[in-house]
Structure 1
Amino acid sequence: MRNLKRLSIGPIDLDVAGGEIIALTGPSGAGKSLLLRAIADLDPNEGQLSLSGEDRNAISAPAWRKQVMYVPAHTGWWADTVEPHFADLSRAHVKNTLQRLGLESTALNWQVANLSTGERQRLALARAMAHEPKILLLDEPTSGLDSENAARAEKLISEIAKSGTGIVFVTHDVAQAERLGTRRLYFYNGGLHEAAP
């Protein structure tokens, strides 16, 4: 991306390579989530974004968001049960992803209203990963998870990256940023910096 601007953030230049895991840290309210939403083209923004050399403006918004997928810290669910949220995906692939995140395949039959915060978070992560996007934008992907499930999620994020997906994830956990990120960026005053001040 070049000269990305959204409200109080930018202009920002950033390249995300396939297989790279960028850990994005910074103070609360600095605009990290706004940045991810802008990259996913969910909010109005200015600047040039491209994916594998193809300009964002040459790709429909839904097609862009399938390839540049954003998983918010608090996900939205539109159906009463989990299964409809995975309807367009390979059942075998979904079940494998659920298992790797410590969820049973019966999770597809669960009522959304009964899901815990951690279950919602893992299911949202599974849904995004099952789509196999080229770029995955994760907003505090393990914030609601216990240590065992957070470790599972981190392992899967690393494996997804090794398969060629570029990942940008927001975290307030400096140890996690060091452990999981292949590159660390610090966000403050509307811009990205290679190291925390």
Structure 2
Amino acid sequence: MFAIEPLAAIAGLETRYLSRKVAGRVLVQDVSVQVSAGEILAIVGPSGAGKSSFLRLLNRLDEPTSGTVLLKSQDFRSISPQELRRRIGMVMQTAYLFPGTIAANVAFGPFQRGQMLAPVQVERLLERVGLPGLADRDVSNLSGGEAQRVALARTLANEPEVLLLDEPTSALDDASVRGIEELILGIVRERRMTCLIVTHNRAQAARLAERTMVMQAGRLVAIGPTGEILHVG
């Protein structure tokens, strides 16, 4: 397999020969890809292919050893890590919430920047992720699906331009999976966000993403329309 990629007219996010090596081990090797605003790109491949490693490079949770990332044509090294992670938000496989209320978790990012979210702003975010009226609930009393919705609301509170999702539904039951998928689709469309999702579930990739990239041994080996790449449809 090999990469065939038409260039996007205006890339919300672009990587150029992005690579990371640790102690001589190649985690990501020369990955170049463009993702447009309003697009969801699925990232699939076998375990150890470098999918999560690639995602972590995009907002500098890990540092590349070569190559770079462009956020709306701006080299990400010219953006402070804090600002970069606000603009490129990430939701992990497990929702790591802070002890306390849902409202405190949702308001955390803006608070770190000296901004206070009004209760009505928190409520609007919770309504958007399907948790209306739950601002004062303690996060210790949430189901897995509810916790992921809070994690998504917390990320959206930062008004990111790019949304990174690392296996966000792999620990959830089927009903919660479909609910989160619908939420992701709706938010990306509404906000015209650039979205990249790592998933082991090819059916999920088909439901969410117009394009899919396949990684093997740290390399991008194929990219294109999801139905063609994964032979689904």
TM-score, normalised via structure 1 length? 0.88
Which moved further from structure 2: 74-83 or 12-21?
A: 74-83
Distance across 1 between alignment mates of 2:179 and 2:122: 16
2:102 to 66, 75, 82: 82
- Deviation of 1:111 after TM superposition, in Å, equals 2.4
Pair 1:52 & 2:72 matched: yes
Match of 1:34 in 2: 53
Match of 1:11 in 2: 30
Distance across 1 between alignment mates of 2:103 and 2:176: 21
Which moved further from structure 2: 39-48 or 58-67?
A: 39-48
Distance across 2 between alignment mates of 1:83 and 1:98: 9
Pair 1:101 & 2:129 matched: yes
Distance across 1 between alignment mates of 2:125 and 2:176: 13
Identity %: 38
- Deviation of 1:196 after TM superposition, in Å, equals 5.4
1:20 to 39, 42, 53: 39
Answer yes or no: is the 8 Å Cα contact 2:95–2:148 preserved in 1: yes
Distance across 2 between alignment mates of 1:156 and 1:80: 24
Distance across 2 between alignment mates of 1:90 and 1:191: 45
Runs of 4+ residues over 4 Å off in structure 1: none
Select the structure that is richer in strand: 2
Which moved further from structure 2: 80-89 or 25-34?
A: 80-89
Distance across 1 between alignment mates of 2:122 and 2:174: 23
Answer yes or no: is the 8 Å Cα contact 2:163–2:196 preserved in 1: yes
Answer yes or no: is the 8 Å Cα contact 1:101–1:152 preserved in 2: no
Between the two structures, name the one with larger relative contact order (CA 8 Å, sep ≥ 6).
1
Match of 2:192 in 1: 164
Q: For structure 1, which runs of at least 5 residues remain unmatched after alignment? A: none
TM-score, normalised via structure 2 length? 0.76
Distance across 2 between alignment mates of 1:104 and 1:125: 14
Match of 2:177 in 1: 150
Distance across 2 between alignment mates of 1:94 and 1:147: 27
Match of 2:212 in 1: 184
Matched to 2:197, the amino acid is: F
Answer yes or no: is the 8 Å Cα contact 1:185–1:196 preserved in 2: no
Match of 2:6 in 1: none
Name the count of aligned residue pairs.
196
Q: Which has the larger radius of gyration?
A: 2
Distance across 2 between alignment mates of 1:93 and 1:150: 26
Q: For structure 2, which runs of at least 5 residues remain unmatched after alignment? A: 1-14, 22-26, 111-116, 224-228
Deviations 1:82-113 (A, max 9, x none): 3222223454444334334332331x323233
Answer yes or no: is the 8 Å Cα contact 2:103–2:122 preserved in 1: no
Q: Secondary structure at the match of 1:3?
A: strand
